[in-house]
Structure 1
Amino acid sequence: MTRGKTLAAAFVVSAVGLGFIAAHEGTLLTAYLDPVGIPTICTGHTAGVQLGQRASFEQCNRLLVLDAGVAGKAVARCTHVAITQAQYDALVSFAFNVGGDAYCTSTLARRLNAGDCWGAAAQFDRWVYAKGRRLPGLVKRRAEERRMFETGCEPQEV
């Protein structure tokens, strides 16, 4: 294994990773409809949410950790090569946003597992659409996830 890399199953999302997700998701204590109409509360939490629902900051923090853990399990289950903590955090943010199943079946995961770190990194740019609409917030998030992920790729030969 390359220095600083280990299998994804050994990681948990870092405080930096949780902060990254929170910064991109935002946190609202009252349920709302996300840009594609999904009832959401707290920091991107969607399971069982109903409009009008309210939560405390403490509940939102617990849900963020829980939801990031679910995304992390998908990343661990579907990533079979050694990665860095920063790469894991970027992948957890990605899976948190698009869903674990979408990550697992993505070309991003396939390329990463084939050993093509840079090819995997390029795939982040493709995931900027929600219901066919290119969303500026997703463009920004994916660019930042890609930069975080690329810190673990070996330098490209020129």
Structure 2
Amino acid sequence: MSLKQKLVALGLSSAVALAGANLIAPAEAPNGEPVLHTYLDPVEVITACLGHTGPELEINQFFSEQQCIEMFAKDLGKADRQLRRLTYPVQLTEGEHAAYLSLIYNFGAGNFQTSTLRKLLLRGERVAACHQLTDACGKHGCTGFVYAADIKLPGLVERRKEERKICLKDLYVEQNH
């Protein structure tokens, strides 16, 4: 059974959330398969499964695949609700939704809420907002959201490029019609 089928079986039915899951899972774990134990991510945060973090995690915990999928579905649902709240009343395209869901899942809703990306999006500057994924300016220059704990992570560079590509996909189609 695919990850998508497992998430649908757990009640996650939003097509856009499922599109986001397909973007998030490969970025969070090798081949999109859950890591069935806790580990320290590149910036020393205790993590498990498909990017799950939280105060309940301890080093040397183990999980079944089912537990990991359930955690992912819960985390994804929470991130999706946060995204919808923070982008209201904008009607996101499927690509925007998937890209920004991936960003919130990785970067946090609080960071998204105060970002220039969100400000641009709410002002209707949707293409510029998508470009913020790779071009946002901060204390490290205009490199996008690719730093964690002041460390530039190559995996985030690639993830943000993919998010931007997906974010822009539907916008360019809409502009040409």
- The 2-side partners of 1:33 and 1:46 are apart by 10
Q: Once the 2 structures are TM-superposed, how far is the Cα of residue 119 of structure 1 from its aligned partner?
A: 1.1
- The 1-side partners of 2:36 and 2:172 are apart by 41
Q: Once the 2 structures are TM-superposed, how far is the Cα of residue 13 of structure 1 from its aligned partner?
A: 4.0
Cα deviation 1:125-151 (Å, max 9, x = unaligned): 110011111111000000000111001
Q: Once the 2 structures are TM-superposed, how far is the Cα of residue 154 of structure 1 from its aligned partner?
A: 4.2
Is 1:50 the equivalent of 2:68? no
Q: Once the 2 structures are TM-superposed, how far is the Cα of residue 19 of structure 1 from its aligned partner?
A: 2.0
**How high is the TM-score relative to the length of structure 1?**
0.87
Is 1:105 the equivalent of 2:114? yes
Q: Which runs of 4+ in 1 moved over 3 A?
A: 11-14, 154-157
The answer (yes or no) to whether the contact 1:32–1:51 under 8 Å persists in 2 is yes
- The 1-side partners of 2:92 and 2:16 are apart by 13
Match of 2:128 among 119, 132, 137: 119
In the alignment, structure 2 segments of 5+ residues that lack a partner are 1-13, 135-143
1:4-153 correspondence to structure 2 within 5 Å:
13-26=16-29, 27-47=34-54, 48-80=56-88, 81-125=90-134, 126-153=144-171
- Over aligned residues, Cα RMSD in angstroms? 1.7
State the SS of the aligned residue for 1:152: helix
Residues 68 and 13 (structure 1 numbering): CA distance in 2 closer, same or farther, change over 3 Å? farther
State the SS of the aligned residue for 2:83: helix
* Paired letter, 1:114: R
Please state which structure has a larger fraction of its residues in helix: 2
- The 1-side partners of 2:115 and 2:75 are apart by 20
- The 2-side partners of 1:118 and 1:41 are apart by 34
Q: Once the 2 structures are TM-superposed, how far is the Cα of residue 104 of structure 1 from its aligned partner?
A: 1.4
Q: How many residues align?
A: 147
- The 2-side partners of 1:13 and 1:50 are apart by 32
In the alignment, structure 1 segments of 5+ residues that lack a partner are 1-10
- The 2-side partners of 1:14 and 1:70 are apart by 11
Identity %: 36
Give the aligned partner of residue 6 of structure 1. none
- The 2-side partners of 1:137 and 1:130 are apart by 11
- The 1-side partners of 2:148 and 2:83 are apart by 21
